[in-house]
């Protein structure tokens, strides 16, 4: 992670680049910075789009774990990664998730999910996929045909809500033991 100026941050990984421009960012801990008054984000190198710029009302990030690109196996959860790139809706195209809050269960990270449009013509915000990260234990994981959302109640009850994708929407199908 590079701090390009007082209000601009940049990070690159495997042809992927994120640039964040925001005023009023506060470092709350060495691994947690919050921009509570909005941020302008430019993502380059995802899918076929040259770049994608958008604004979010709030951004939270870990300067030491800005980017993840790869299998959506859950390995990015512990670090609270800021930008996660992978196929989130099982259509074969790269999508991305941007950490925008702590609306997950027990203060876990929550994400805004952006799905790649058909033909690689930009991205569109998906409230349905974004809601999967609210009240859960952070970002979901994706296998060849299912989405698993980690959940818990109290200290000892842990499970995954399992979803399939129908008509570009997540559809709940089962509650299952958590994957390790």
* Angle at CA of residue 84, ends 158 and 63, nearest 5°: 100
Q: Give the pLDDT score at 8.
A: 84
Q: How far apart are the first and last CA of the chain?
A: 29
Q: pLDDT tens digits, residue range 74-94?
A: 888 777 788 899 999 999 998
How far apart are the C-alpha atoms of 59 and 159, rounded to whole Å?
28
Of all residues in the chain, the percent with pLDDT exceeding 90 is: 34
With residue 57 as reference, give the H or E element that holds it: none
Q: How many CB atoms lie within 10 A of CB 140?
A: 27
Exposed, middle or buried by CB within 10 Å (0-12, 13-18, 19+), for 103? middle
Q: Which residue has the tokens 């349905």?
A: 128
- Residue 88: both structure tokens together: 């989130």
173: Cα within 13 Å, side-chain hemisphere: 12
Q: Give the pLDDT score at 105.
A: 86
Please state, in angstroms and as integers, the Cα–Cα distance from residue 133 to each residue in 37, 45, 123, 139, following that order.
21, 24, 19, 6
CATH architecture of 4-138: Beta Barrel (2.40)
Range with the largest mean pLDDT of 75-84, 110-119, 126-135: 126-135
Confirm whether pTM is higher than 0.85: yes
**Residue ranges per domain, the chain?**
4-138
């Amino acid at each position: 992670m590079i701090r390009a100026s007082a209000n601009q941050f940049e990070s690159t990984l495997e042809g992927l680049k994120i640039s964040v421009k925001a005023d009023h960012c506060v470092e709350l801990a060495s691994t947690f910075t919050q921009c509570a008054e909005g941020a302008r984000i430019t993502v380059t190198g995802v899918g076929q789009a040259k770049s994608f710029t958008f604004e979010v009302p709030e951004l939270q990030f870990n300067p030491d774990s800005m980017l993840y690109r790869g299998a959506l196996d859950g390995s990015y959860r512990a670090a609270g990664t800021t930008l996660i790139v992978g196929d989130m809706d099982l259509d074969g195209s790269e999508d991305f998730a941007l950490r925008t809050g702590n609306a997950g269960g027990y203060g876990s990270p929550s994400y805004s999910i952006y799905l790649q449009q058909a033909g690689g013509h930009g991205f569109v915000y998906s409230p349905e996929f974004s809601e999967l990260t609210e009240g859960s234990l952070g970002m979901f994981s994706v296998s060849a045909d299912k989405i698993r959302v980690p959940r818990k109640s109290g200290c000892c009850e842990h499970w995954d809500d399992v979803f399939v994708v129908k008509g570009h929407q997540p559809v709940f199908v089962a509650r299952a033991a958590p994957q390790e």
